[in-house]
Structure 1
């Protein structure tokens, strides 16, 4: 977040920026900042669980624009939390604020800038598919970004106001002024119009010494020091220079700093303005201020060798880190193939869980996937004794740290004592499937990319509270099996002209649980070396789509295809439903009388009664017959009602009438 209010101050002083035509250069990108800016500025849905396909498309367009201008992006991501806990107060306050905003969004359907839970996974997967160089840091990325940009003498792309303080040789390109969607051309060269910022322009404009910039940031308040929270704040607005429209805290501080040459004398004068302080208080305040200033000292780059030679950096030399993180993790962590939260578990025995749009009266959606995380903790900490992990999660509208015991037994314990990635593939797969409560045979009929999501769905049906009803499962399976077709706007026709789904708290909570289960399952799968293929999230789940499907099923609405029916999607739906039936039957046979009663799943196939096939040629007729034979192979004869078979037969008989076919083509096909 950086120095609060600094970006606004600079936007009100546009002469500090320089207009540039950016092209033919390296560009170091603040990945986490870009992720948030792209998602929130694009107007994508925030409250129904995410528009991941649209976000994937946006990221791809962004990368294409850079490459069209011969700009080579290097994306740097945050990793774990600072092991010294220098920002613990700041991060705790922000977590508390996110909980309140999540409740506010759920109650009032307002957009509160909470990123959907799977967005980061989509971002990483998209960059990997596009072969964009990515590095995930062991801690926060700011210093590594500044170090790499300084080494390569290239600019940084970010909206984080901390980069206004770093002395970057090639300056900063603020994302807000980076017009990547308006690529222009001069002769044979294409470029992106943007604004460039340099600290020298800032210092000249506000008449302060360059070496005082870190002092300015610390006194103004950054992520590491906040005088107001310490009860030692100074009314900087009183020093606002004459001619300003209104008193301004940052302008006043900058004007006050005009009289100083060195940080030491400025800090001494600032202490004198804080009233009566004991020697102990003076030492504490000075220590915090200097700590905040040190964060702007640019170190040598540790990522250059990784980007050029693929060599992962050494782990930090801090006592808190040494010996806690296995060396084999360095490369997959830096490549982003392991999640940065792993470092928090290993080093701090603590983890911060996702904050979602959810009603405060509902239990945290993260509770459902806790058993999966306990397996992760067991694999990471199983070689140690008597260790618990503190999960930072919400309890109602309060932030709580809940101690959670790792699962350390059997195969998990054996893998933890060696290394999970060195175990036999069959053993790693066994740990994953046992955690999810499914068998390898039950998933064998599925395409590789759906095996993990369907296993997660089985787990979700068993663990989610309250138990998901049949419409939620039906919408989810339709989304999984028809996702690519349903997602394209040209394939959809919603009968309501201005269709807008009002937030249903029960539906939101149920799908929140599914998404968190999928996220934690992906992280467990990654830690085990991906015994199951990692699913492509953007092609798998669309929050707005499943909410829309549930709404239509409950209100009797119709969703129609405008393209030739996708028989493979029907077969895929049938296969996933068959596995769910099998899983449900096993659960029912082993459940106790006192256990929660699940709703029967037999009527989930009702949608097939309204799934029409257009038969405009002999080839399509053959495909329909083949689909029917495939159902026998899957033991799903009972899934097609008499009415559906009659309609298919009737259409086969009427295929010779082109006029009828054209009318039906215009009407489309109901899938609900």
Structure 2
């Protein structure tokens, strides 16, 4: 949620906070709020589609710091939109705003737009670090409050709604959580993180010992993500709010302070509501009373016990129960194995496709992945058992429709996208969603690969953990518009090799062979990553790689929905936007990187296998460039023998290739 202007207002009042030396405690982390804040606070590049490797390192450092201080984190992530879709207006506004910010970033201006796969990367890091996390059925705020009050521990967030919730141990705003400034207690070896905790009692005491039960009414009247009543503007235009004291940041803060002062004169919410309604037209009063009261309930604790999930691996949600969703779907959503995209499509038949830093003059990068999404919709809706409360019955002669919100130029557009009619095995007798996971793995794999237009045979030379990215890359190469160029493909595959180099260098597995030459190549990649790229973003290149991320995102969702017939890929080192753009720029203009992998035969072989796998799915003349073959691998093998190195490869590449 979020209350307009409140976080900046309370931030100007030190008296609302208590200084803490945080250690030896549980802490509940508002997951969505946290990974947004951490990515932006770390000043990672936002133009090139995500430096997921750098973000991974920062997340590692954060949780290592908590561990040193014996702080035990529990991460709670938002799920899909609520059943009533009460935030639809807010979601549209935010989507429009993200499009404008993405456009600004693309032109070298300011703005924050989270790279597309950040959430998935974050979940993978949590899993590797064994940090417990749960994905709620819808928005997580009320569930977080219930868990934090049950455990009597603070919440870590930057969401202003937590200034309203009655938290027994308060909440620590991320902006005051100095995790990079680790301190030691005097006379001991114990470490702590300096932090500040917001105190609801201090806020209420500041405003004439206000009844804290009035704060939800304040939130609703001031305007939050769920409600913004134009009728209340009549109240604000007529009432004289007692501002009192100094108020720093213009009209928003003046209204906040004045409204809190005004509400503090009433003993209870009903009394305050009666006095609000006096300023409204008689025929509006009862409707507004009902809206105010129902909206205030958003600040009550939920009946969901997340403790059950952290102790037993599952929890009960009454809303989900009423929908009669299959148990495997519920568990997949709770554990984060299925994305909120899946629940929105299944329950609301509506999805938002997130804006990226791309060429706004071209069709949205999400367009290329629409056929994959249509297969997902077919699996979810063609014979789904969702309650008729949320979805009309599906007729066999007409495919279901999903409403997609996506970018069209620099505006938000709603499209009607039909589900794909699936092969007989997946739709005969209206195959229930409940039994989808029971379909033989070979059939699920066939559907996945047919959707990506890839044959199993081309993956055989590739490590299994790269099968999904390679299959997606084959799809992307064939269907992206404008057409993928050879230097785009080469740069992308080299980025995957960079990720593999990191895996081999940092692996504790004794079976992973560590080669000194690999370190030399890895260090060279790091130098390339750190080099400054051209100041102006190459919009066409950015657009091409955005399309690849869209294909990968939907390929991941489909693989998950089909109960992972292919291994889940490690996203944390798969794509580094800064490096890939830098390599792409260099490959486009010169051949200086041509022998980048020559000192590492194993990585050269991997690169050649990746390149050959993708090129085998397109016509021989697909990459329309003036070509000349570089040294054949046989010649290079002879050359490497003469210098004391062994080099084995079977790939032939064009003039700008790196081998």
TM-score by length of 2: 0.87
* 1:294 and 2:302 matched: no
C-alpha contact (below 8 Å) 2:29/2:73 kept by paired residues: yes
Show the counterpart of 2:449: 433
CA contact (8 A) 1:350 1:389 kept: yes
Match in the other structure for 2:623: 599
Q: Relative to structure 1, is the Cα distance of residues 60 and 560 closer, same or farther in structure 2, using a 3 angstrom cutoff?
A: farther
Task: Give yes or no for the alignment of 1:346 onto 2:346.
Answer: yes
- Give the conservation status (yes or no) of the 8 Å contact 1:224–1:288: no
| Residue of structure 1 equivalent to 2:386 | none
The Cα of 1:286 is off from its aligned counterpart by 2.3
Instruction: Identify if the C-alpha distance between structure 1 residues 442 and 183 changes in structure 2 by more than 3 Å, giving closer, same or farther.
Output: same
What is the SS of the residue equivalent to 2:27?
strand
Is the alpha carbon distance of 1:216 and 1:604 closer, same or farther for their aligned partners in structure 2, counting shifts above 3 Å? farther
CA distance 1:527–1:559, shift in 2 (3 Å): same
Tell me which of 211, 217, 220 is aligned to 2:219: 217
Q: Secondary structure at the match of 1:60?
A: helix
C-alpha distance in 1, partners of 2:72/2:522? Answer: 30
CA change 1:578–1:615 in 2 (3 A) is closer
8 Å CA contact 2:587–2:593 kept in 1: the answer is no
* Deviation (angstroms), 1:206: 2.3
Tell me which residue corresponds to 2:147.
Answer: 148
Deviation at 1:516, TM superposition (A): 0.5
Change in Cα spacing, 1:639 to 1:395, as seen in structure 2 (3 Å) is closer
Q: SS of the residue aligned with 2:361?
A: coil
**Corresponding position of 2:555:** 521
1:183 aligns with 2:185: no
Note the C-alpha offset of 1:55: 0.3
| 1:115 paired residue number | 114
Counterpart of 2:491 in structure 1 is 475
Alignment partner of 1:7 is 2:7 = yes
Displacement after TM superposition at 1:454 (Å): 1.0
Partner of 2:323: 322
Q: How does 1:588-627 map to 2 (within 5 A)?
A: 598-600=622-624, 603=627, 621-624=644-647, 627=648
User: Structure 2: how far apart are the matches of 1:230 and 1:79?
Assistant: 31
Structure 2 counterpart of 1:510: 544
**1:162 alignment counterpart:** 161
Task: State how 1:380-419 maps to structure 2 within 5 Å.
Answer: 380-383=380-383, 384-385=394-395, 386=398, 387-410=400-423, 411-414=425-428, 416-417=431-432, 419=435
Q: In 2, Cα distance between the equivalents of 1:45 and 1:416?
A: 45
**Alignment partners' CA distance in 1, 2:523 and 2:4:** 40
2:607 pairs with one of 573, 584, 591: 573
The 2-side partners of 1:97 and 1:490 are apart by: 39
Please state if 1:193 is matched with 2:194. Answer: yes
Q: Do the aligned residues in 1 keep the contact of 2:46 with 2:114 (CA within 8 Å)? A: yes
1:360 aligns with 2:360: yes
In structure 2, C-alpha distance between the alignment counterparts of 1:495 and 1:46, rounded to whole Å: 14
Q: Name whichever of 467-476 and 139-148 sits farther off.
A: 467-476
Structure 1 residue matching 2:3: 3-state secondary structure: coil
| 2:254 is the alignment partner of 1:254 | no
Note if contact 1:460-1:513 (Cα within 8 Å) is conserved in structure 2.
Answer: yes
Contact 1:380 1:416 in 2 (8 A): no
- 8 Å CA contact 1:377–1:406 kept in 2: the answer is yes
Greater shift after overlay, 47-56 or 288-297? Answer: 288-297
Return the offset for 1:105: 2.1
Q: Secondary structure at the match of 2:421?
A: coil
Q: Secondary structure at the match of 1:26?
A: strand
Match of 2:576 in 1: 542
Partner Cα separation in structure 1 for residue 474 and residue 291 of structure 2: 50
Verify the 8 A CA contact 1:378 1:412 in the aligned structure 2: no
Distance 1:494 1:309, change over 3 A: closer
Superposition pairs for residues 21-40 of structure 1, below 5 Å?
21-40=21-40
How far 1:337 sits from its partner (Å)? Answer: 0.6
Q: What's the TM-score once normalised by structure 1's chain length?
A: 0.86
Query: 5+ residue gaps in structure 2?
Result: 384-393, 503-520
Q: Does 1:465 align with 2:481?
A: yes
Asked if 1 retains the 8 angstrom alpha-carbon contact of 2:78 and 2:135, the reply is yes
Decide whether aligned partners of structure 1 residues 229 and 442 sit closer, same or farther in structure 2, where only a CA change above 3 A counts.
Answer: farther
Quick one: structure 1 residues 23 and 571, their matched pair in 2 at CA, closer, same or farther if it must change by over 3 Å? same
Higher relative contact order (CA 8 A, sep 6+): 2
Q: Which of 445, 454, 465 pairs up with 2:470? A: 454
Moved more, 376-385 or 490-499: 490-499
Residue-pair matches, total: 617
- The CA distance in 2 between the partners of 1:582 and 1:573, in whole Å, is 14
Distance 1:289 1:459, change over 3 A: same
Inter-partner Cα distance in structure 1 for 2:311 and 2:638: 54
Name the CA shift for 1:603/1:282 in 2 (closer, same or farther; >3 Å). Answer: farther
| Structure 1: gaps of 5 or more residues | 589-596, 645-669
RMSD of equivalent CA atoms:
3.0
Q: CA shift at 1:580, angstroms?
A: 1.9
| Residues 110 and 607 of structure 1: CA distance in aligned 2, closer, same or farther (over 3 Å) | farther
Contact 2:27–2:156 (8 Å) recurs in 1: yes
- 1:438-465 CA-partner distances (Å, limit 9, x unpaired): 0111101100121111111110111111
Which residue of the partner structure matches residue 649 of structure 1?
none
CA-to-partner distance for each residue in 1:445-502, whole Å, 9 max, x for gaps? 1001211111111101111111111221121122122335499667533599754452
Q: Deviations over 1:501-535 (max 9, x none)?
A: 52111111111100000000001001111111111
